[in-house]
Chains A and B, each alone.
Chain A
Amino acid sequence: MFRFAINRLLQAIPVLLVVISITFLLVHSAPGGPFSADKAVPPEVLKALEAQYKLDQPLWQQYVGYLNDVLHGDFGPSFKYPGRTVNELIASGLPATAELAFYAMLVALFIGASAGVVAATRPNTLQDYLPMSAAMLGICMPSFLLGPLLVLVFGIHLEWVPVSGWGDSAGDKILPAITLGTGYAAYIARLSRGGMLEVLSQDYIRTARAKGLPESLIIAKHALRGGLIPVIAFIGPAFAGLLGGSFVVETIFQIPGLGRFYVQAAFNRDYTMILGTTIFFATLIIVFNLLSDMLAIWLNPKLRQEARGDH
């Protein structure tokens, strides 16, 4: 397992390098610069600004300088917010985004796994179709529609929860978590249904039933562990996706998260901020994929053997 992890981490280095290089080239070749504004920028000001952010250097020199900074853990100063560093901005946005992603994952797992298991116990009946159609709806329902709908019903009409904010008043984390989690709940429902169906048709389940064990015990004790393996494999990338994909939800609910910075940075042509957040998210995706693969190996004896054999 250790060698497997080291190997994967080593493979991540060229991946990250490619990500950095492509993003660097893309942001620098995008039309419109970080300092273009609707009011004309006097040439002397533009020169001073470009010199300050080293944009007057040849591109390769900027690239090498940037790589060097990144190696030292420094993502540079933000172009848009003078005086703020990208590290500082990421650090300020990460806690809210991570917390949101965590709650959304809980919501997704709770709703998704229960719906999937319920559906799998009676395939091709109403008890299957109902949660699975709901899941399909959940996958199709974009968060920019679901969010405002939930706000309208629970925030404005029923006044149960605040319509926006993050940690400002009690209960303001509920709607964002549900909005962000629902789409993933739908995937998890489908995955856990599939996984459960496969496990439930296995011989050892049949044996358990033959022994006369109550069905609930069979599901909880024997089927769940195997049935949820596809879900576990999904959690890693899903968590990375939740972190990187929370922009819409953050905007709807005014959450001071990283997603908002990420998208705004692109609009602002905040070169260092775009690069910094991209590298940060790329690293997260790599790490979470690795973690979920390791978890899947640990849970599944078959894969454990393969991992040992291959490496």
Chain B
Amino acid sequence: MDYHSMSGQQSTAKSLPARTFHALCLAALLLVVSGCGGGESNVSLGNRTGTLHWGNGTEPQSLDPHIATGVPEHHIITSLMEGLVLKDSTTLAPIPGVAESWDVSDDGRVYTFHLRQNARWSNGDPHIAQDYVWSWWRALQPALGNLYAYMYYSINNAQEYYEGTITDFDQVGVKALDDYTLQVTLENPTPYFLQLLDHYSLFPVHQATVEKFGTADERGTRWTYEGNIVTNGPFQLLEWQINRRVVVERNPFYWDAENVGLNKIIFYPTENAVSEERMFRSGQLHYTNDVPTDKIPVYRNEGNPSLRVAPYLGSYFYRINTNVPHLQDKRVRRALAMAIDREQITEHILQAGQMPTYALTPPGTMGYYPKSDLTFDPEAAKQLLAEAGYPNGEGFPVTEILYNTNESHRKVAVAIQQMWNKYLNIEIKLLNQEWKVYLDSESAGQYTISRASWIGDYVDPNSFLDLFLCNGGNNRTGWCNAEYDRLILDVAPKMKSHEERLAVFQEAETLLLDAMPMIPIYIYTSKHLMNSSVKNHNGNLLDQTTFKELTLESDSSDSTGGNH
């Protein structure tokens, strides 16, 4: 019996693995065959058909320009819609958009825009000045929950209307003089006002479409969905598949349609930078939203032209909670700031071309190069700390750095922890919190030192310096200086010349750096991978893309770079 059973098993031993083996071979074959059917990559197909494949970061929260807030939304919305004024894609200087020209009054407060007679909505409707009056009225309805309402505050009475101190919209400084003339009156001469018009929060929306799907101030109606939305930009919405793609196609009614270089753009929600980079390498994307940090040196060492790193209008800094007893002394705060070796951080930790900074505002912001007396000087820092009552760090309480959970924030925090320990002999603890928890802690002032950053909404020092106004919602440090507020709110807006205005900003920034409620660390860079078939893509400080200018060239479709 035993023998029999054994021989039985032996016979299976031959037949079964053989069969399994065959089955596996078949499966492998199927895999190969079906894979080979894929054929041409997105990029080379797109180059022939004029379709741009764009890695867009995340699923857009909304395509309503008066509700959306993020960068991914920004890309899609600026392809679909256009403001009165556009920005030159290299210099960011204002150039005509829906308005073909404009006049500015001598006191710099009244702007008169002359709209194009050939501007149309994507359904063919005429696009008139009244569209702006209605749209801006809509954007200032509190019920809509527009987080960018403050972009309107330079307009006369806009803030008062938004906050309810006046209820008559006729008092707000926007008037349609006739169908093609729009007059905007500002509270103060605002040199960056034209730039704001290119921000989506000031884009017009199509009244009939918005009202078809709900009331004007109703948040999140279906008017922005595919098949519903009517827009005024170079492209129109063709398809919006949640978490899959947003497809826009050329808008035949756009006033400059003959100069639009692409037929279609497909925006992909690519949250994961590592997956996105693989998509790029296999020719699924023309352009990536980001580049994984550890891939940057690899691309750089290869001299791969796909890698595009450029200065970005963003500042990375640490907020200091000035209500914490041992940080109330500005000598302590300055000592901390002086004991950070920023070159070390940008050169060896971040390695993506970030620039060490000793001021809040990025240099070159509208010709403004902030001067700063801050340097990396461990000896002087030690001295200052001693003067503040902590010789050689003795008696300095254990201090906590708060950051939101993220690998690169952690690395920076660890480096600073070590530097402060080494140069100042003080003990630092690190605390990471999930993004929303971190936001709550920071805005409630429940932190000691916290990682922070700010990306400019427009290219002007004001976009950075108004952060630290006494009652500014984004201040969060408890620092308050009446003179600083006066300079930013009252003096700078009334300056006649650009130079005088910059001098006032310098004065304010000097105050800020002297008190040091925030420690500047580095200036951001934007990082992308771009296929060489994409032409006319100009980098700029705001990392904004003018989609209507882009073209695709089919010759160089395969140059996504080597394997690594």
A residues neighboring B (CB under 8 Å): 31-33, 36-42, 44-45, 47-49, 52, 77, 80-84, 89, 92-93, 110, 114, 117-118, 121-122, 127, 148, 151-152, 154-157, 159-166, 169-172, 174, 206, 209-210, 214-216, 218-219, 251-254, 256-257, 260-261, 264, 267-269
Contacts and interface: CB of A to CB of B under 8 A. Distances in A.
B211 to A, nearest CB: 15
A174 B59 CA distance: 24
B69 A39 contact: yes
Given A37-B147, A39-B474, A45-B146, A122 B440 contact: no
B171 interface: no
Interface string B54-88: 00000101101001010000000000000000000
Contact of A122 (B9, B64, B437): B9
Q: List 3 A-B pairs, minimum CB-CB distance, nearest first.
A: A40-B473, A32-B436, A82-B220
Given A82-B62, A163-B282, A264-B271, 9 more contacts: A48-B145, A110-B23, A155-B282, A160-B32, A171-B36, A209-B4, A215-B15, A251-B275, A252-B272
A129 to B, nearest CB: 14
Contacts of B473: 39-42
Nearest to B12: A215
B474 A209 contact: no
Nearest to A32: B436
Contact of B242 (A31, A37, A256, A269): A256
Given A154-B35, A163-B282, A36 B147 contact: no
A161 B474 contact: no
B302 interface: no
Interface string B258-287: 000000000011111011001101101000
A39 B281 CA distance: 35
B284 A36 contact: no
Contacts of B243: 92-93, 256-257, 260-261
Contacts of A77: 220
Contact of A52 (B39, B64, B143, B149): B143
Contact of A206 (B5, B224, B241): B5
Contacts, number: 200
A251 B271 contact: yes
B3 to A, nearest CB: 11
* Interface size, B (range): 35 or more
A140 B63 CA distance: 43
Contact of A164 (B219, B284, B563): B284
Contacts of B27: 110
A155 B277 CA distance: 13
B208 interface: no
Nearest to B439: A36
A193 to B, nearest CB: 13
A215 B8 contact: yes
A122 B34 contact: no
A156 B564 CA distance: 10
Nearest to A216: B15
A293 B129 CA distance: 68
B38 A36 contact: no
B56 to A, nearest CB: 11
Nearest to B11: A215
Contact of B16 (A33, A81, A84, A117): A117
B392 interface: no
B222 A174 contact: no
20 contacts: A38-B439, A39-B69, A39-B147, A81-B61, A83-B219, A84-B242, A121-B9, A121-B12, A127-B13, A163-B284, A215-B8, A215-B11, A215-B12, A215-B15, A253-B275, A254-B272, A256-B241, A256-B244, A257-B243, A267-B434
